[in-house]
Amino acid sequence: MKIDITTGWLETARQVVSPNADERPPGAVPELIVIHGISLPPGQFGGPEIEQFFCNRLDVTAHPFFREIENLRVSAHLLIRRDGELVQFVPFHRRAWHAGVSAYCGRQGCNDFSIGIELEGTDEIPYSEPQYEQLAATIDVLCSTYKTLDNQRVVGHCHIAPGRKTDPGPAFDWSRLGPGRH
């Protein structure tokens, strides 16, 4: 696994470009990795809806829940599907819109200085073995490529937006990523 430092794309990931991204503020670099959990429709896996959602192409008539999220414009740098497939939506040097209102160690606006990784899943259903393996390998390559990242600065969405977000949830086994993360 390798990142093309010029383009910011992970060479082993399938690329699906999201319009929900922009440039990081001047001087901002990736310093934090944020783990998320997502399933669309809620509790269902394997369909095209996450990609459609991140690309503003979700058919809001296909499921009642989609009406609740139809005006959201969000993305993440990466999605790790249940089978371990990597899908990249935003190059790592750009700002993906994944964290929303958030703070880490007193710094507001985590999108400015983080990389967002979505895991296809829910707070309650255990994540898959291929997801943990892919996530650990991805964190390692991110930290070796971007020297501003530290493998001890890996947190959940719940840690940077407490009270507002719960993902990746209690079903996520932090110990699988090694000591000191989250």
In the predicted structure, residue 180 carries a pLDDT above the cut 80: no
Q: What is the C-alpha separation between 31 and 137, in angstroms, rounded? A: 18
Catalogue all structural domains in the chain, each as residue range(s) with its CATH number.
3-172 (3.40.80.10)
| Model confidence at 92: pLDDT above 90 | yes
Q: What is the pTM of this model?
A: 0.96
Mean pLDDT of the chain: 96
pLDDT in tens, 125-176: 999 999 999 999 999 999 999 999 987 899 999 999 999 999 999 999 999 9
Distance, CA of 59 to CA of 78 (rounded, Å): 22
Give me the catalytic one of 118, 120, 129, 133. Answer: 118
Listed in sequence order, the residues at least 6 apart from 37 whose beta carbon sits closer than 8 Å to its beta carbon are: 118, 119, 120, 121, 122, 123, 127, 157, 167, 168, 169, 172
Percentage of the chain surpassing pLDDT 90? Answer: 95
Residue 118 among the catalytic residues:
yes
Q: In this predicted model, what pLDDT tens digit does every residue of 41-64 receive, in sequence order?
A: 999 999 999 999 999 999 999 999
